Amino acid sequence: MSGLCALFVLTAPAARIAVPVGAAKWPVGALVQAEPAAAPCPPAQAPARLVGWPAALGPASGGSRPGDRGCVPTAALAPLDGRVLRSSAPLPGAPAGPAAPGTEWTPRGAPVCGGPLPTATGPVPLAWLHPVEVLDGAARDGLAQVRAAASAAGGGPVPEAALRVAPSGRVGLPLVEEWDEAAIAAERAREGLDTPARAERVTVGRGPAGLYTHFWGADAPFSDLWGPPDVIASWLRLFADWATHCASTLHPADPTRCTPQVGDLGWFGPARPDPLGHKDHIDGRCLDLRLFRVDGSRYEAFWDRPDDRPGRGTAYDGPTTRAFVAFAAARPEVGPVFFNDPAAAGAQALPGHDDHIHLCVRAAP
């Protein structure tokens, strides 16, 4: 590690999401600045200060915050040469910067100790680099691929704040509307989610043009929406094509009955074991969808039994769910599809798939 006050991006093997620094962890993709040692560092480590936390990962965890200092493995540091810094809207709880989402900066040399960073468009205070995304050429290309697919699916440009890329190069399924705590509380009240188990199944946002909604389940916010750019683009095209097909052939009077409810895709990166507990979502090519309902609720349904909320009865929309399965399974890029309704043509039965559809995008040959 060389160049006092130079900025570096923290890298590590793909299976790891964080590099230990003392008692805390600084994640892959973090920006760090070389600085004089306040105390000696162990061999093969160098003193550094945490500058920027990756936007994709949300607020800092483990007690770490920008400005923290520690000894970092020199082998885990890479210069910013050839990379671009991109401002992103902060996730809930993360400090906001004054730069508009999607603003890109090309580093030009090292910052003065403490800032600002010289860039092609002028000096950028280091405080603007939290949260931030560090993009190489592949990440920029992937983001552009998803941006184009999202714009086409939604019928126009999507907000840059809806487009996120993780340090692994995975891109998030875009959410153009992310509900705040008040909206989530209102949704829980509307749906009668009156127990902790039901409350965590609440819907929390929408995709472009309302093509899909998203729910976290028990996962941390925004931790489960990630996949390779080509896969995310495939899902966007599928949802757009399904919306057109369903609204014209099944529910022209109420197209909202066509809206898929998206649960898990993949984790930020290909970590093993998967922090979300997946076996089949590790490569980011699969997603889970709730079953369609007949009653306008955005809660889960089961094909073979009633709603678990008292007095709700059976709300499973079998014709729409089976039509979606057949529509998706007929696409050459989709497969396999797992779902347990025996009348769903194109699906395979698999234990645990009574309340959701699991479908994948095949890897390119």
What pLDDT, on a 0 to 100 scale, did the predictor assign at position 60? 56
What pLDDT, on a 0 to 100 scale, did the predictor assign at position 59? 62
Q: Which fold has domain 166-361?
A: Muramoyl-pentapeptide Carboxypeptidase; domain 2 (3.30.1380)
Residue 130 to residues 85, 117, 205, 206, 219, Cα–Cα distance (Å): 11, 13, 24, 25, 23
| pLDDT tens-digit readout, 56-87 | 876 655 667 888 888 898 999 999 999 999 98
| pLDDT tens-digit readout, 236-259 | 999 999 999 999 999 999 999 999
Q: Domain boundaries in the chain? A: 7-135, 166-361
What pLDDT, on a 0 to 100 scale, did the predictor assign at position 24? 78
Residue 345 to residues 237, 276, 303, 321, Cα–Cα distance (Å): 21, 29, 14, 11
What pLDDT, on a 0 to 100 scale, did the predictor assign at position 62? 61
What pLDDT, on a 0 to 100 scale, did the predictor assign at position 61? 58
Please state, in angstroms and rounded to a whole number, the distance separating the CA atoms of residues 177 and 183. 11
- DSSP label of 84: E
DSSP 143-160: HHHHHHHHHHHHTSPPPG
How many other C-beta atoms are found inside a 10 Å radius of the C-beta of residue 48?
Answer: 27
What pLDDT, on a 0 to 100 scale, did the predictor assign at position 221? 80
Please state, in angstroms and rounded to a whole number, the distance separating the CA atoms of residues 164 and 142. 10
Residue 318, H or E segment:
helix 318-329
| Residue given tokens 């890479």 in the structure block | 78
75, 80, 81, 87: CA torsion to nearest 10? 150
What pLDDT, on a 0 to 100 scale, did the predictor assign at position 26? 86
What pLDDT, on a 0 to 100 scale, did the predictor assign at position 66? 85
Please state, in angstroms and rounded to a whole number, the distance separating the CA atoms of residues 358 and 174. 19
What pLDDT, on a 0 to 100 scale, did the predictor assign at position 40? 85
Please state, in angstroms and rounded to a whole number, the distance separating the CA atoms of residues 222 and 211. 18
What pLDDT, on a 0 to 100 scale, did the predictor assign at position 114? 80
Regions of the chain with pLDDT less than 70: 1-2, 13-17, 58-63, 90-96, 365
Please state, in angstroms and rounded to a whole number, the distance separating the CA atoms of residues 354 and 320. 16
What pLDDT, on a 0 to 100 scale, did the predictor assign at position 15? 52
Q: Which residues pair with 69 in a beta bridge?
A: 49
